[in-house]
Amino acid sequence: LERTQPLLPMGLGYVEGVTHDYVRHGTATLFAALNVANGQVISRVRQKHRHQEFLDFLRQIDQQTPPELQLHLIVDNYSTHKHAKVKAWLARHPRFELHFTPTYSSWLNQVERWFALISERAIRRNSFTSVHQLRQQIELFVKRYNADATPFRWAATANSILQKIEKIAKRIYATGH
């Protein structure tokens, strides 16, 4: 998104101002796999978010991780992750195992915290005149982030997490879904 006006600086008695209107130059999809052991991220920026792009990302992960590792990918319930061609690829690559987050529980996936971080530090307050410029910013952030990556640490206890899941599950089941 390209802002139609520059950011207005903070001053005494008022906060930084951001214009609400923008020019949209296209879209991009960011695929990311977070290594929870060391905090590093494997990423891929694409124009679309279809099963073809997801398969390309799985192949990239396969190439960039030691072959002896069993890989557990936590994903949301987006239909791309459940496509027949994705399932067939996974059947041929048994070291990959997908785990789907429950509805309304994306917070369980630590990569979502990383998405918030890149949004805060590299995207939200910027203005991009092209998708190419956005992509460059994302790739630069990932490179710098990985140079000094550390794992995220849960602050909540296991019991509080399980209580939250139980509360959400009760709400979902009460609606008949």
Whether the predicted pLDDT of 2 surpasses 60: no
Whether the predicted pLDDT of 177 surpasses 60: no
Whether the predicted pLDDT of 169 surpasses 70: yes
Buried b / exposed e along 85-120 (16+ C-beta atoms within 10 A): ebeebbeeeeebeeeeeeeebeeebbbbebbeebee
Which pLDDT does position 161 carry in this prediction?
84
Which of 36-40, 92-96, 119-123, 172-176 is least confident? Answer: 172-176
pLDDT tens digits, one per residue of 23-65? 666 789 999 999 999 999 999 999 999 999 999 999 999 999 9
Whether the predicted pLDDT of 1 surpasses 60: no
CATH of range 2-174; options 3.40.50.1970, 3.40.50.2000, 3.30.420.10, 3.40.50.11750 = 3.30.420.10
Q: What is the mean pLDDT of residues 148-164?
A: 88
Distances (CA, A) of 97 to 9, 59, 73, 94: 47, 14, 6, 7
pLDDT tens digits, one per residue of 98-154? 999 988 788 788 999 999 999 999 988 787 889 999 999 999 999 999 999 999 987
**0.85 cut: is pTM over it?**
no
Q: What is the mean pLDDT of residues 5-30?
A: 68
152: closest CA among 106, 109, 96, 98?
109
Which pLDDT does position 20 carry in this prediction?
66
Which pLDDT does position 162 carry in this prediction?
86
Which pLDDT does position 84 carry in this prediction?
98
